[in-house]
């Protein structure tokens, strides 16, 4: 695995969980997995065991010269990880942040090159190199255009796109720095040239063109990427490479998210004693100063980002408290404007005994919310996979989702079962507007009050779903096996 994140040491989003979770599942099945990461200064060093230099004499060709790197080795919750540590004036990974620098494209192009150079020099010849997101998009280009001729001719690349919104756009200086010097060749429309800016190269497009197989994180999102605007300009190149493109649903880390063992909840439970879940509902109400009343508790956990449908989250909040339900929100957003809006709502509803907004990031509260709530809304405008709905189901909390991407693949509507085709385990609406989300909320609240037996059946169905890494890991193994013989 070559990636810019791995949970829990370097985590910004879902990518980190996938790299860790998939690696662990593959190892449990007897495969030898090693993870290559940048050595950031801001990593959780307390979560790395036995960190020590493992290869001190790595000289990475860069900008016509070379950069000296040390490669460190350590275990991250049992996974074997190598960390590339360049000693150069640019200090690529000592910036106190994972992303957000002006030269991010250059930093991660260097990382990709360093990872390949490390494999070449350290004699590592993995059958498959699995790269993730734009940060490692140039790796397959360098592998098949350069390293292949220096002793890495048998390696194959599977690339996973976790989010098409961030594609990695750079200028010709990156090509020069990495040694990919045939500018006219790479700038061709069917190779690296960006669809919107012909004088720029696009890392994600590069990965799509040069990898042996490309995946995204759910089958429905793979379809959306090809047929709608959700690939942000890459639909055509995906169409051209459709024979090597598919969607594999992410798995959920069943060790971290397990109501039977969760140390953050007030009472542990499983499908056999669902009534214990209501101890958590009371604990959650106590913690958030909500009144104990005979009402369903609806929650929302996640980034307050336009992708997540913030206007629908806000509407769900008011609709719930006006329609005999309680509402809890835990989230924080990258945009100050959105956060401010939710702070205003929080102040406005300060005295409401039926509503609480927690604006911030709180892992422990998130666990208690999944365990204590009756329903969870996820009204995303687009959602490559989505974890919160899967976590909710594991905790017997009914997801109310918009039918896009991975949400559509994991949730099947109680009244209109289609979606993922599995057992009915939640509510799905399609139109991203107020009547759309109201229709789903109305049906969910109605079932909770009017037909408690059926609501319990829904809870049992949700808890019976298996969204662990078991199936996704097998899909990836099939892909690895397929490209190994290509």
Residue 432 touching ligand ADP (CB under 6 A): no
Site string for ligand ADP, 303-332 (x = CB under 6 A): x--------------------------xxx
Residue 4 touching ligand ADP (CB under 6 A): no
What is the smallest separation between the CB atom of 462 and ligand ADP, expressed in angstroms? 16
Tokens 């990709």, residue located: 112
Residue 361 touching ligand ADP (CB under 6 A): yes
How far is 36 from 22, CA to CA, in rounded Å?
14
Residue 387 touching ligand ADP (CB under 6 A): yes
- C-alpha distance from residue 272 to each of 178, 396, 459 (Å): 57, 11, 11
Residue 363 touching ligand ADP (CB under 6 A): yes
Indicate the residue whose CB is closest to ligand ADP.
14
> CB under 8 Å to 80, separation ≥6 — which residues?
33, 34, 35, 73
- C-alpha distance from residue 113 to each of 12, 397, 460 (Å): 22, 44, 49
> Which strands, in side-by-side order, build the sheet including 48-62?
34-38, 79-86, 65-76, 48-62
Cβ distance to ligand ADP smaller for residue 157 or 378: 378
Residue 362 touching ligand ADP (CB under 6 A): yes
Exactly one of 178, 202, 388, 461 binds ligand ADP (CB under 6 A); that residue is 388
What is the smallest separation between the CB atom of 63 and ligand ADP, expressed in angstroms? 34
Say how far residue 220 (Cα) sits from the centre of its chain.
Answer: 15
What is the smallest separation between the CB atom of 32 and ligand ADP, expressed in angstroms? 28
What is the smallest separation between the CB atom of 12 and ligand ADP, expressed in angstroms? 9
- C-alpha distance from residue 417 to each of 51, 315, 471 (Å): 50, 25, 22
- Retrieve residue 215's tokens: 């995946």
Residue 405 touching ligand ADP (CB under 6 A): no
Smallest CA-to-CA distance from 7 within 77, 96, 71 is with 77
Stretch touching ligand ADP by CB under 6 A, among 78-86, 240-248, 358-366, 415-423? 358-366
How far is 249 from 239, CA to CA, in rounded Å?
20
Stretch touching ligand ADP by CB under 6 A, among 22-30, 186-194, 278-286, 297-305? 297-305
Residue 301 touching ligand ADP (CB under 6 A): yes
Binding footprint of ligand ADP on the chain (CB under 6 A) = 13-14, 301-303, 330-332, 361-363, 366, 386-388
């Amino acid at each position: 695995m070559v990636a810019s994140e791995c949970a829990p040491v370097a985590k910004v989003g879902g990518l980190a969980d996938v790299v860790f979770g998939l690696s662990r599942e593959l190892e449990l099945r007897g495969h030898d997995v090693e993870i290559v990461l940048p050595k950031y200064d801001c990593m959780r060093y307390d979560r790395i065991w036995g960190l020590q230099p493992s290869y001190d004499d790595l000289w990475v060709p860069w900008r016509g010269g070379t950069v000296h790197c040390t490669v460190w080795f350590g275990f991250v919750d049992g996974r074997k990880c190598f960390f590339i540590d360049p000693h150069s004036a640019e200090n690529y990974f000592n910036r106190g942040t994972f992303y957000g620098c002006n030269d991010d494209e250059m930093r991660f192009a260097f990382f990709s090159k360093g990872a390949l150079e490390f494999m070449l020099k350290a004699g590592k010849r993995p059958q498959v190199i699995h790269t993730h997101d734009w940060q490692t998009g140039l790796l397959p280009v360098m592998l098949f255009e350069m390293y292949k001729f220096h002793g890495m001719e048998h390696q194959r690349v599977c690339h996973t796109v976790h989010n098409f919104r961030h594609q990695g756009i750079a200028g010709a200086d990156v090509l020069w720095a990495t040694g990919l010097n045939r500018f006219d060749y790479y700038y061709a429309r069917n190779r690296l040239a960006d669809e919107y800016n012909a004088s720029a190269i696009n890392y994600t497009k590069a990965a799509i063109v040069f990898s042996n197989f490309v995946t995204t994180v759910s089958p429905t999102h793979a379809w959306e990427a090809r047929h709608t605007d959700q690939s942000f300009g890459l639909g055509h190149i995906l169409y051209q490479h459709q024979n090597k493109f598919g969607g594999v649903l992410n798995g959920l880390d069943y060790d971290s998210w397990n109501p039977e063992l969760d140390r953050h909840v007030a009472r542990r439970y499983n499908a056999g004693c669902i009534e214990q879940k209501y101890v958590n509902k009371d604990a959650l109400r106590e913690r958030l100063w909500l009144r104990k009343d005979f009402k369903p508790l609806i929650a929302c956990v996640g980034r307050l980002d336009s992708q997540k449908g913030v206007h629908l989250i806000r509407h769900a909040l008011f609709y719930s408290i006006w329609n005999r339900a309680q509402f809890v929100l835990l989230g924080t957003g990258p945009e100050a404007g959105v956060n401010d809006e939710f702070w205003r709502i929080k102040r406005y509803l300060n005295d409401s005994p039926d509503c609480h907004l927690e604006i911030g990031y709180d892992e422990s509260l998130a666990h208690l919310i999944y365990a204590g709530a009756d329903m969870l809304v996820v009204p995303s405008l687009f959602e490559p996979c989505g974890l919160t709905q899967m976590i909710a189901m594991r905790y017997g909390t009914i997801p109310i989702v918009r039918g896009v991407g991975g949400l559509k693949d994991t949730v099947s509507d109680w009244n209109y079962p289609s979606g993922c085709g599995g057992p009915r385990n939640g509510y799905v609406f399609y139109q991203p507007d107020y009547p759309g989300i109201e229709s789903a909320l109305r049906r969910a609240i109605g079932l909770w009050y009017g037909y408690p037996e059926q609501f319990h059946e829904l809870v049992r169905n949700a808890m019976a779903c298996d969204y662990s890494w078991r199936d996704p890991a097998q899909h990836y193994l099939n892909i690895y096996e397929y490209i190994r013989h290509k």
